[in-house]
Amino acid sequence: MHRKALLTILFLVLAFFIGGLTGLAAAYFVTGDGTKAIAETPGGSAQVKPATDLKENESGPSSPVEEPSSINTGKENDPASSVDHIVSHPDPGTGIVVETDPEPDEEGEKKVAYLTIDDGPDLENTPAILEVLRDYGIKATFFVIGTQVEKHPELLEKIFEDGHAIGNHTYNHVYKDIYASDQTFLESIRKNEEIISNIIGECPVIIREPGGRFKTKEKKQEMLREAGYLRADWNIDSYDSRHPIPDAKTILANVKRQAAKKKLWPAMVILFHESGGHQTTVEALPLVIDFLLEEGFELKSLPEMDSDILANLPKP
């Protein structure tokens, strides 16, 4: 009886010992390169990686691993990561793609407009035009006629005092007198120059011949250059001198239509008139100025323009 109990105890001890060895062997697995490794968790208990998973990992995961959507890569709000901000250009010599800033777009175009007002001063329209320009803080260029200056010298003084530029528009604006010969042409300019200088103490260098380049051939234009004058043409006509005289909205539409030509934007010289009967020009000026400012134009007077640009205005 005692021997039977002893054998039973020995059998149980042996079974326990053999079971322990089996568990220890199960804690080992073979990696893809044949080396042995042991997996342990923080508690010290072993976790065996199934052999099927190991085989899948040798050639990559069985399905794509997606980056968690909650991860912030730092590029969501980075302007430099935007396609609109960075443009890739291959280097012509090496073929290497280099990331550079984009080329300036059309919004970066220089836009400057010059308001020019001919045929004054006028007793009614000039004060009204000056008030409009004063309200906007804008300087314009007035091309005055000698006979009108003789009638209203105080208005020329006011134009000058307000800081506007003054240009020579000949003595009487009568084509048959001015363009009778080269000599009469120069005489008309010099007579007006003397009248102006006697009032404001300065001689205007900028001139605009009546009719502009359409009335003076190259010979007369060369004469002016040799005499030290700067011709000032225009490349946008408000057509406010047409008959019948257009209303303010039509004048605005005329300017808008021509101002759409981008090649004019760097030096856009607009022609207006202020002589008697041009009340609609006074009414149109605020509309035109608002339009130009809304479109991003800077408004200046002609003396602020480079003389080379003035001599070679972009043509419509």
pLDDT of 149-177, one tens digit each? 999 999 999 999 999 999 999 999 999 99
Joined together, the tokens standing for residue 306 give 């480079």
**Which of 169, 173, 273, 278 is flagged as catalytic?**
273
N- to C-terminal Cα distance for the chain?
Answer: 128
For residue 14, pLDDT beyond 80: no
pLDDT in tens, 37-59: 323 333 332 323 333 333 333 33
Global pTM?
0.67
The pLDDT > 90 percentage for the chain reads 60
**Which of 89, 118, 237, 240 is flagged as catalytic?**
118
Q: Is 186 helix (H, G, I), strand (E, B) or coil?
A: helix
CA distance 315 to 261: 10
Least confident span in 68-82, 234-248, 300-314: 68-82
Q: Positive or negative CA dihedral for 232, 237, 241, 247?
A: negative
Is 105 catalytic? The answer is: no
Residues 198-214 have a mean pLDDT of: 93
Least confident span in 10-19, 105-114, 260-269, 297-306: 10-19
For residue 141, pLDDT beyond 80: yes
The torsion defined by the Cα of 270, 275, 280 and 286, in degrees rounded to 10, comes to: 50
In this prediction, residue 68 carries a pLDDT of 33
pLDDT in tens, 230-239: 999 999 999 9
Show me where the domains of the chain are located. Answer: 1-58, 112-311
Q: Fold for 112-311, please state it.
A: TIM Barrel (3.20.20)
In this prediction, residue 213 carries a pLDDT of 80
Is 173 catalytic? The answer is: no
Is residue 173 within 8 Å of residue 119, measured between CB atoms?
A: yes
